[in-house]
Every structure is written in structure tokens, then in C-alpha cells.
Amino acid sequence: MLCRKGNRFTTTEHQHPCDTVLPLNNPLPSSFSVCIVGASRGIGQSVALSFAKAGAGNFILGARTMEQLEVTRSHILQIKPDAHVLLQDCDATSYESVTRLANAVPNGKLDALIFNSGFSGPVVLRITDTQPSDFQTAFDVNVQGTFNAAHAFIPLLLSTQEGAKMFSVVNSMASWIVDGPIANAGYCISKLAQNRLVEYLSNQYEKEGLFVTSIHPGAVATDMAKTAPEEFKPYLVDSVDLCGHFMVWLCHHRKDIQWLSGRFLSAKWDPTELLEKREQIVEKDLLKARMDVQ
């Protein structure tokens, strides 16, 4: 079956985390160190809690709002009281700010970098009705921000001995659409560019052990989703925990899934079915951006 937008790549899709991806079934060592850019609320906060539930003991959290980061830290410590949680204000669009966050990583030891910062802006369906500043901001956050994080953090990931070497970005199935009620050009095109950047990173650093992925978190009713049209909001029914649990599952199975590097994945996909598609994915080099020519 040809599936151009990525939905239904696995026959089974999940609105809530299945047992396979539950953190308790995918434990991580207490020495595990994860940095999350955009960890103050919503999906980013939930990702942090998923890693805490899996046993990770070291967190470096960045966001523009320190007060909200404090809330994330308190939730982490409720789950894992002995965790080390470092907070740093961070503007993903500023390379200097992202570099300060990277420099704050204790001893430069890092297993995973999660880039969750994102900008959607008002959902406007025609280019001529779109504010140029909103279009620019989408690229500043979603693309330049990802570049900034890669430039600052990949050296840490690669230099950490026996680390997971995981660089993951929270992306969106919207990166593959060109029409419909949420086809906001700035967001959709910048997210497609983010996918392509992930492919570049994997191509350049995979031989050094880096594992890079774009992950669709599901249709989640986060604060950023408030800009979605009313007709789309009934579809925002997926659990906020899908993305974090899926990332933990990837980290737990890290040594066996290098073949997924550079690809677009969905936290809604059934993980067992995804692994069963390994031969097809590798042989046809699926889950990447391509120009279709016949």
C-alpha cells in the first residue's frame, strides 16, 4: 500500500502508549543523561517524565520560561527523588543561548538530546494571507533551532563513552501535507525542512555512531495546538505520553535499531510491527523525503 503521508504505515496505531513502550518495560541506567530543549510544558515536559519513569538520573532542561521549568523539575523529582535536574533558560533561535545550554551539561556527558522547541503560529491557509514574520519565525525555531542544537550538542553525544548517542526532534505528520484544514505553510514547510536536516545529520554522523530521528508525537491537545481550526480540534485525542514513551523505547533498544536512523517515525505506530518491517524499510530506504519520478 502506498502511504504518502505516513499515517497507517503500521496496521495498528495507538492513541495511548502500548505495553511495549512503557518506561517500566524499557529501563534505562541511572547514569543516563538526557537534555531536552523545550521542556517546560506539554510534550517536552511529558518526555522528561517518561525518561524519569524509565530510571534516567540526569536531566538538563532548557526553555524560555524558568518558572515552568521548575514545575517540570518538581514532577521529575516526585518520580525519581535522587535525579539530578539542571535548568537553563534557552532560546532555540539563538546559537549563543543553545551553546550556553550545551556548556552546562555536567562533565560534557550526554546520552540523548531531544529537540522539542517548535513554532506553529496562526493557521493561515493561503500564502498571501500569511504574515511574513510568522513564516520567518517558523523557520527560525523549527529549522535554525534544530541546526543550533545539532551544532552545539552532537560533539557531546559523540564524545560520551558508551552513550546512547541519540539526537531526536519532535516533528509532525503535517510536514507531509500541502492542503487541508491545518496546511499552514510556515509550519508544514519548516517541519519538512527539519526532516531533511535529520537525514543530513544521519548521513554525516551515522558512521560515528549517531542515531538521529524525527518523531511525530501524535495529535495532542497541547497549548501550541490551540491555534488549530475548530474543525480539527476533535481529532486532538492522542495521549501526551506517546512521544516520550516511544523515545524511551528507542533508547532502550538503541543497539538494535541503528537502521532506523535518519528516518521519520510516528509514536502512534505499533513498535512491534515497525520492527517487523525492517527488511522493507532498509531495502527501499523508506520513511525519508523523496522526489517521486516515474
Q: What is the pLDDT of residues 102-135, one digit of tens each?
A: 999 999 999 999 999 999 999 999 999 999 999 9
Domain boundaries, the chain: 29-284
Percent of the chain with pLDDT over 70: 95
- Residue 1, pLDDT above cutoff 60: no
* pLDDT score for 28: 99
Rounded distance, CA 105 to CA 198, Å?
23
Rounded distance, CA 60 to CA 50, Å?
14
Q: Which residue has the cell 547514569?
A: 31
* pLDDT score for 3: 46
Per-residue pLDDT band for 236 (boundaries 50, 70, 90) equals: confident
Percent of the chain with pLDDT over 90: 88
Rounded distance, CA 230 to CA 285, Å?
37
* pLDDT score for 234: 72
Rounded distance, CA 265 to CA 171, Å?
9
Verify whether residue 235 is a known catalytic residue: no
- Residue 263, pLDDT above cutoff 60: yes
* pLDDT score for 6: 64
Give the active site residue among 53, 80, 165, 187.
187
Average pLDDT, the chain: 95
Rounded distance, CA 289 to CA 159, Å?
29
Verify whether residue 288 is a known catalytic residue: no
CB 224 within 8 A of CB 236: no
- What residue spans of 116-144 are helical by DSSP H? 132-139
DSSP code per residue over 151-220: HHHHHHHHHSTT---EEEEE--GGGG-SSSTT--HHHHHHHHHHHHHHHHHHHHHGGGT-EEEEEE--S-
Per-residue pLDDT band for 63 (boundaries 50, 70, 90) equals: very high
The two beta strands, 166-170 and 112-115, are parallel
* pLDDT score for 4: 52
- Residue 224, pLDDT above cutoff 70: no
For residue range 163-211, what is the model confidence (pLDDT) as tens digits?
999 999 999 999 999 999 889 999 999 999 999 999 999 999 999 999 9
The domain defined by 29-284 folds into Rossmann fold (3.40.50)
Higher pLDDT, 168 or 225: 168
**DSSP H or E stretch at residue 241:** helix 241-252
Question: Three-class SS of residue 50?
Answer: helix
Q: Which three cell numbers stand for residue 162?
A: 558508551
* pLDDT score for 223: 73
For residue range 69-101, what is the model confidence (pLDDT) as tens digits?
999 999 999 999 999 999 999 999 999 999 999
Report which DSSP code applies to 21: G
Predicted TM-score (pTM) of the model is 0.94
Give the active site residue among 53, 80, 165, 191.
191
* pLDDT score for 5: 58
C-beta neighbour count of 281 within 10 angstroms: 18
